[in-house]
Structure 1
Amino acid sequence: MPWLQLTLEAGDLDVETLSDWFEQRGAVSVTLVDAADQPLFEPDPGTTPLWSATRLTAMFEADADADTLSAQLRQDFGAAAVKRLGRSLLEDQDWERVWLDQFHPMQFGERLWVCPAGKLPPQGEKPVIVNLDPGLAFGTGTHATTALCLEWLDANPPRDQAVLDYGSGSGILAVAALKLGAAALWAVDIDEQALLSTRDNAARNAVDDRLHTLFPAQLPEQAFDLLLANILANPLIKLAPDLAGRVRCGGNIVLSGILADQADAVREAYAPWFRLSDTIGKEGWVRLQGERI
């Protein structure tokens, strides 16, 4: 079944009001994207930051009356809004199939591969394969921050270690650590969907018997051999004392989600507790890693 797709450059209109307006008129989905390639970084808790130029896309069933919607939009938001309104028919697709067609096996380091379900890497010497379906959570390995962490894990397999993945997303780092020999792994996230994806991907890779998923407040009072935190610079800085306290003396920490010009601030935040090595960069992002003093 095709879909009616309406797009609107929000301009100076309130985006949340627009979103509610389309939903109240039967939109099956409303999405917001950046219309001007403007990055957004760490939002403050409780805020919903938006771009200076935001494009709204509303999807309706094909029999929705676009002319009536356009007339109502003019009445409620003015003629200028209608001039920025675009419409098109979008043919239905097997969206899971589209995603699988775009997601191919990817190699990180010497042996570690991340593959969509049903796909295998080229024949190599004993590859370590993570089969992944990210679901609605962040993390497929395509982003530089995730790739930097996967490359570190490949070079430093956490064999027989207790590992904490703080901000697990899809669970890609958690599953990779378990496939590389971690004795047990605690995956922490504030989003229930992320924890669900982590559990699903661990089960898909037959490592769920060594996995614990939990919210930050549920973390046990223990020190870990390795802590992975692929989040963003501002949360990393704020969490530095707490995260440092969760790594045993001689244990390792790996931090990512850091822009190159934020690295010094993150390094300074962790320097009291860790002997940090040189930053490693990729596509404008960096990874910090260090040993607990």
Structure 2
Amino acid sequence: MKWYEIRINTTDEASDAVAEMLTTMGAGGVAIKDPFDIRKEIEKPGTLDYADDDFLEALGEDVIISAYFQNGLDINDLLKQINDGLMNISQFLDTGKGLEGYGEVDDEDWSTAWKKYYKPFRLTDRIVIKPTWEEYRAEENDIIVEMDPGMAFGTGTHETTQMCSILLDKYMSANHDVLDVGCGTGILSIIASKLGAKKIEAIDIDEVAVRVAKENIEINGEAGKIKAFQAVLSDLKAGDEKFDIIVANIIANVIVDLSSLIPYYLKKNSLFITSGIIKERKQDVIDACLKNGMSFIDDLEMGEWVAMVFRCPDTL
């Protein structure tokens, strides 16, 4: 099978938002070449004792994203959608030079090459994300989450996933019931289960994400506690089941839209943990949640991103 390879030249701050946009549009895969990631690796203790200044300078600052779409789509319409999406993101983030062009490639040229860049890494003090094809020697008290992201978005490397994981670790108690809205690869559901949650429901609007989430849940041996299925929040009948924690690592616009529904799916005094929010939209999300009776109790910031915790009112 041949694929369209669409190349976008963007910035470090916008790269994750652009990648998520492309995935939402139906990209079968997204590869990110980020010089800042290389610099971060070089700066880690024990990685390299020496790096040539000319090499570091040659890396530049442009982030190149390659997105792969099935051949047969109306390429002109697709390019227009991508340009419109970049324009929307540029209202909040510097998206850089933008669309560079496109070409055609075969399956074997891209479908597995990205794996060499995805290595085990420590997400929090005790949570380690390990690709299924990599070896890792666990330390005492490590919680190991094995991931194969396939064609779904969410390997755990993003700041929003890290912040949600830290907040889950901070606020979750054993035997909590958890709802993961926009579960992606299932990473937060799996983390919640390994942190002691009694039961988790993981929902996503994208069928590919749900399939990948189910595979990762099986890999981690958590199928007995996690149910993943294709749905949006309103598909769940409010009042039939309520949760101790709802976690949603999505985008600000969706969070604002969901803020009027969230309290009806939470038990009294329970928590809404959310991220995927760029700093410029933080107050919009706070205002929407406060308007719907929730109280703001905690937040974290990493890079250009924010995660927040709200408490459900006790009057519903």
TM-score normalized with structure 1 length:
0.72
Task: Tell me which residue corresponds to 2:188.
Answer: 173
Task: Tell me which residue corresponds to 1:256.
Answer: 275
Shift of 1:93: 5.8
1:247 aligns with 2:247: no
Distance in 1 (alpha carbons) for counterparts of 2:120 and 2:289 = 34
Task: Tell me which residue corresponds to 1:285.
Answer: 305
* The one of 155, 158, 176 aligned to 1:140: 155
Structure 1 segments unaligned to the other structure (5+ residues): 1-26, 62-91
C-alpha RMSD over aligned residues: 2.7
Task: Tell me which residue corresponds to 2:60.
Answer: none
Distance in 2 (alpha carbons) for counterparts of 1:157 and 1:110 = 16
CA deviations on 1:166-219 (whole Å, 9 max, x unpaired) are 000111111111111111111111100011011000000010121222212542
Structure 2 segments unaligned to the other structure (5+ residues): 26-79, 88-97
Counterpart AA for 1:260: K
Distance in 2 (alpha carbons) for counterparts of 1:168 and 1:269 = 22
1:34 aligns with 2:8: yes
Distance in 2 (alpha carbons) for counterparts of 1:198 and 1:164 = 14
Q: Any idea what SS the aligned residue of 1:208 has?
A: coil
Counterpart AA for 2:225: R
Task: Tell me which residue corresponds to 1:48.
Answer: 81
Distance in 2 (alpha carbons) for counterparts of 1:290 and 1:275 = 5
Contact 2:186/2:214 (8 A) holds in 1: yes
Bigger mean CA deviation after superposition, 120-129 or 164-173: 120-129
Q: Any idea what SS the aligned residue of 1:266 has?
A: helix
Task: Tell me which residue corresponds to 2:236.
Answer: 219
* The one of 194, 200, 203 aligned to 2:209: 194
Distance in 2 (alpha carbons) for counterparts of 1:157 and 1:226 = 8
Distance in 2 (alpha carbons) for counterparts of 1:146 and 1:190 = 18
Distance in 2 (alpha carbons) for counterparts of 1:171 and 1:218 = 19
Matched ranges for 1:77-116 at <5 A: 95-96=111-112, 98-116=113-131
1:117 aligns with 2:150: no
Shift of 1:275: 2.1
Shift of 1:231: 0.4
Contact 1:28/1:58 (8 A) holds in 2: no
Distance in 2 (alpha carbons) for counterparts of 1:129 and 1:36 = 33
Distance in 2 (alpha carbons) for counterparts of 1:60 and 1:281 = 38
1:57 aligns with 2:112: no
Higher radius of gyration, 1 or 2:
1
Residues 151 and 35 (structure 1 numbering): CA distance in 2 closer, same or farther, change over 3 Å? same
Count residues in correspondence: 236
Distance in 1 (alpha carbons) for counterparts of 2:161 and 2:133 = 22
Contact 2:217/2:226 (8 A) holds in 1: yes
Q: Any idea what SS the aligned residue of 1:277 has?
A: strand
Distance in 2 (alpha carbons) for counterparts of 1:148 and 1:283 = 11
Counterpart AA for 1:235: V
Counterpart AA for 2:288: A
Contact 1:29/1:60 (8 A) holds in 2: yes
Counterpart AA for 2:218: A
Q: Any idea what SS the aligned residue of 1:178 has?
A: helix
* The one of 261, 267, 273 aligned to 2:286: 267
Distance in 2 (alpha carbons) for counterparts of 1:288 and 1:60 = 41
* The one of 185, 196, 203 aligned to 2:218: 203
Shift of 1:254: 0.5
Matched ranges for 1:7-22 at <5 A: none
Distance in 2 (alpha carbons) for counterparts of 1:174 and 1:129 = 13
Shift of 1:265: 0.8
Task: State percent identity of aligned pairs.
Answer: 26
Q: Any idea what SS the aligned residue of 2:212 has?
A: helix
Residues 122 and 249 (structure 1 numbering): CA distance in 2 closer, same or farther, change over 3 Å? same
Residues 194 and 60 (structure 1 numbering): CA distance in 2 closer, same or farther, change over 3 Å? closer
Counterpart AA for 2:236: L
Distance in 2 (alpha carbons) for counterparts of 1:137 and 1:251 = 29
* The one of 145, 155, 165 aligned to 1:150: 165
Shift of 1:222: 1.8
Shift of 1:34: 2.3
Task: Tell me which residue corresponds to 2:175.
Answer: 160
Contact 2:4/2:105 (8 A) holds in 1: no
Residues 279 and 126 (structure 1 numbering): CA distance in 2 closer, same or farther, change over 3 Å? closer
TM-score normalized with structure 2 length:
0.67
